[in-house]
Amino acid sequence: MTVYTVFTGGTISCSRTGGALSPDAKNGYLLLDLAKQAGVEAAFITTQPYAILSENLTADRLRALRACLEKAIKSGYDRIIVTHGTDTLAYAAAYLDYVLGASAAAIVLVSANYPLSDSRSNGVQNFVDAARFLESSGEKGVFVAYRNTGDAFTAIHRGREVMPQAPCEDSLFSLFDSPFGCIRDGAFCRNADRRERDREDLSDCELNGRVIWLRAHVGMTCPDIPKNTKAVLLEGYHSGTLPTADPEFRAFCLSAAEMEVPIFLTGDRGGFDYESKALYRELGIRVLPPMSPTAAYVRVWLASNQQLMINN
């Protein structure tokens, strides 16, 4: 098996220098050596389009990563591992799933909760199990391999279903806590109880323009909407509600309507038909189907024009 391996930085690549953690190119090759010592029998072809702490991820770097992977796929590589930082892992996974998930390749993102030099790190385990997934599953698409602290198995998540990690936590979960499967006894085991969801192909789209993302909170302040804004994404409370009785929030929504900027809501899974939700249509709020908030943001950001967003 040949695995095309793309290093991008993140904690999995970090060494401590001068008291601070920073990406170290040597750790990529250390990771491969440790994987081979763990029994992974594969030929690794490596590249590094950039090396950053993932909190510094930008649209330009996502585009560069996409170009790197498209080149690899066109060259015939159909098993790919991308090492990435955890902070923005959900964003990169959703983006790659939307634009490359329909390709004839299997792409697995891996990260680490601690540097490889730390005995608590899950980085090697995640990488090893990503390779085992590529070898044993036959699946195509974009995935994330990640073992939470205390878990017996490494979970395999669909890229666009990865939920953002909670503050001060390093555990990773799928939407509705329903991963695609796991690695058990060295091979992929599919989650039989999981319902496969529609997987939209946005390979013709690219990150374009400005999206305002606001999370509902008590006393929220709504900003002015810049003229070059493409869309607004609202993340509701846990029951999918928004402060529709608040004058400032209402004025914000009506201002967006006047500017012909569409407003989308993520976080509403249906039910809980409170009177506050009855005002969504009046305020021009379009409710997205259940999805990870990061996937919703990336999906709206990817839309190449307003018409695409309105029709979907």
Of 76, 191, 64, 181, nearest in space to 129 by CA: 181
Q: Identify the pLDDT of residue 160.
A: 97
Q: Identify the pLDDT of residue 83.
A: 98
Q: Identify the pLDDT of residue 11.
A: 96
89/305: higher pLDDT: 89
Q: What is the pLDDT of residues 85-132, one digit of tens each?
A: 999 999 999 999 999 999 999 999 999 999 999 999 999 999 999 999
Across the range 52-74, mean pLDDT stands at 98
17/230: higher pLDDT: 230
Q: Rounded to two decimals, what is the model's pTM?
A: 0.95
Across the range 155-183, mean pLDDT stands at 96
State the pLDDT confidence band at 308, using cuts at 50, 70 and 90.
low
Q: Identify the pLDDT of residue 309.
A: 56
Give the integer Cα–Cα distance in Å for 79 and 90.
20
Q: Identify the pLDDT of residue 312.
A: 46
Q: What is the pLDDT of residues 191-247, one digit of tens each?
A: 999 888 878 899 999 998 899 999 999 999 999 999 889 999 999 999 999 999 999
Across the range 44-50, mean pLDDT stands at 98
Across the range 54-75, mean pLDDT stands at 98
Across the range 31-52, mean pLDDT stands at 97
Q: Chain centroid to CA 274: how far?
A: 31
Q: Identify the pLDDT of residue 199.
A: 83
User: Residue 256: beta bridge partners?
Assistant: none
In single-letter form, the type of residue at position 303 comes to: A
Helix (H) or strand (E) holding 72: helix 59-74
Percent of the chain with pLDDT over 70: 97
Q: b/e map of 242-265 (b: 16 or more CB within 10 Å)?
A: bbbeeeebbebbeebeeeebbbbb
Residue 306 in this model has a pLDDT that exceeds 50: no
Sign of CA dihedral 241, 243, 244, 248: negative
Q: Identify the pLDDT of residue 159.
A: 98
Q: Identify the pLDDT of residue 305.
A: 54
